Amino acid sequence: MNYRLTHLAQADISGILIWSYESFGEAAEARYAALIAAAIRDVAERSTDIGFTSHQELGDGVLTWHLAQSRGRSRGSDVRRPRHFLVCRRERDILAIGRVLHDAMDLQLHVTAGMDWS
């Protein structure tokens, strides 16, 4: 399945990687970037909802995938405790990734039923 990142997801990823670099250095940023890429590959390759958490309260077909689920498939060194998850939904043959959020965030404050998925 093909995927696309919304502008919000792109901004989320940029912010996460900047924070990782500033807080932990270049190697940590590279590890987290590799993990995010692995998670995106993992969700795009899934043909079922197994492994996802459904969030119908946030809109039709909204799913989340925690980065920790992709740790074993990252092409970089291991990230011990990933703290982010992808917020996505299928749009025919494309998986739209709408946000990449920290797991301590209140999901309903950052994803709404009327969110722009373009």
Average predicted confidence (pLDDT) for the chain: 92
Closest CA to 116 of 11, 2, 39: 11
Q: How far apart are CA 13 and CA 31, in angstroms?
A: 13
pLDDT tens-digit series, residues 49-67: 889 999 988 888 999 999 9
* Residues spanned by the domain of 13: 2-110
In the predicted model, residues of the chain with pLDDT beneath 50 are none
Q: Is 115 within a domain? A: no
Closest CA to 31 of 41, 42, 21, 45: 21
Q: Is 39 within a domain? A: yes
Q: Is 116 within a domain? A: no
CA-based end-to-end distance of the chain? 17
Query: Where residue 39 sits, what CATH number does that domain have?
Result: 3.30.2310.20
Rounded CA Rg of the chain: 14
Q: How far apart are CA 3 and CA 35, in angstroms?
A: 16
> How many domains does the chain divide into?
1
Q: Is 49 within a domain? A: yes
Q: Is 17 within a domain? A: yes
